[in-house]
Amino acid sequence: MSLGKASMAQYTAESYTDNDPLPAWNNGKIKQAIISYIQQITDSTSTHFIPVIDRIATFDNDGTLWAEQPLVQELFILYQVKKMVEKKPALKNQQPFKAIIENDTAYFKNGGQNAILELVAATHTGMTEDEFEAAVKDFFSMAIYPGRNVPVKQITYQPQIELLNYLRANGFKTFICSGGTVEFVRSISEELYGIPKYQVIGTTFKYKFNDSTVTIMREPASKLSNDKEGKPVGIQMHIGQRPVFACGNERSGGDIAMLKYSQSSKYPTFQLLINHDDAAREYAYQEKDNASLKAAAKYNWYVVSMKMDWKTVFVKEP
């Protein structure tokens, strides 16, 4: 199954000229499967019916709802470093700021995961939630996505926005389940995806409530890592039940556990994996070990070929 589904011959099978819920999706097997699934699980006379309270959908963010070459959160880190050094020039002689300013990639290569975490902590913590939120808001108001030369807010995928709307129109609660840090994603989830802050699950730092200032301080220690096996755990902590619809993408194997977890629901389920195979309109990249596509083949998940399944890729400019 999987990629074999997306042969071009299938794209003339059916057309949805009237009331098409997914106009940015080409008419192929995957679009038909999504629509057929939704029709069945919302039909109260069907044995596949799912009560509204259990219509839970979870979506990864980077590479699933918007582009990830590079990760937007990496752009924010560079932005924060620049801003912090402007404010306090002495920082440019301190690591990890020094390595960023001097474009010293060896520093991060040699330092590995620890150097990256040090950089994330330096730019994301040691401030209150309110201060962090203001910094992220500033970033999004001006950030440009490299290579595409558009505001970062314009790198979301039009077919996925339609899919989120379609699910919600059919009684679903849509959640983001991201490896990114949760407040970063929350800052744009409502505007870009129509998903409120409280339906975003992500990686979190440690927090400390300051009783005298009545603020929450962001501390430089990780509390929950919401990636790979951490995603089902994040879902349990936040939602408390298995999603019946889950969508991720291939790149790092980060969504395999979430898709498996969804598939173990007692209800009929739907798993979707985005394959980045569109060098012309987006990017083409693959996992080293191909673990996500292998899992999709093994467990019968639907694999979206961006090239063939998506009529348009990015949202239109506002």
Contacting positions for a second copy (CB under 8 A): 53, 56, 129, 173, 175, 182-183, 186, 190, 196-200, 204, 207-209, 211, 214-216, 223-224, 229-230, 232-233, 236-241, 257, 260-261, 263-264
The residue (of 127 and 224) whose beta carbon lies closer to a second copy is 224
Q: Which is nearer to a second copy, 86 or 129 (CB)?
A: 129
- To the nearest whole angstrom, how small is the minimum distance from the Cβ of residue 209 to a second copy? 4
CB of 278 to a second copy, least distance (A): 31
At closest approach, how far in Å is the CB of 175 from a second copy? 8
Minimum gap (Å) between residue 173 Cβ and a second copy: 7
Q: How far is the CB of 101 from a second copy (least distance, A)?
A: 32
Mapping DSSP onto H, E and C, the string for the chain reads: CHHHHHCHHHHHCCCCCCCCCCCCECCCHHHHHHHHHHHHHCCCCCCCCCCHHHCEEEECCECCCECCCCCHHHHHHHHHHHHHHHHCHHHHHCCCHHHHHCCCHHHHHHHHHHHHHHHHHHHHCCCEHHHHHHHHHHHHHHCEECCCCEEHHHCEEHHHHHHHHHHHHCCCEEEEEEEEEHHHHHHHHHHHHCCCHHHEEEEEEEEEEECCCCEEEEEEEEEECCCCCHHHHHHHHHCCCCCCEEEEECCCCCCHHHHHHHHCCCCCCEEEEEECECCCCCCECCCCCCHHHHHHHHHCCEEEEHHHHECCCECCCC
* Closest distance of CB 147 from a second copy, Å: 30
Based on CB atoms, which residue is closest to a second copy, 143 or 216? 216
Which lies closer to a second copy via its Cβ, residue 245 or residue 310? 245
Which among 165, 163, 143 is positioned nearest to 153, based on CA atoms?
A: 143
Closer residue to a second copy (CB): 144 or 237 = 237
Least distance in Å: CB of 230 to a second copy?
8
Q: Of 6 and 257, which has the nearer Cβ to a second copy? A: 257
Tell me the two tokens of residue 199.
Answer: 């339906």
Please say which residue, 183 or 277, places its beta carbon nearer to a second copy: 183
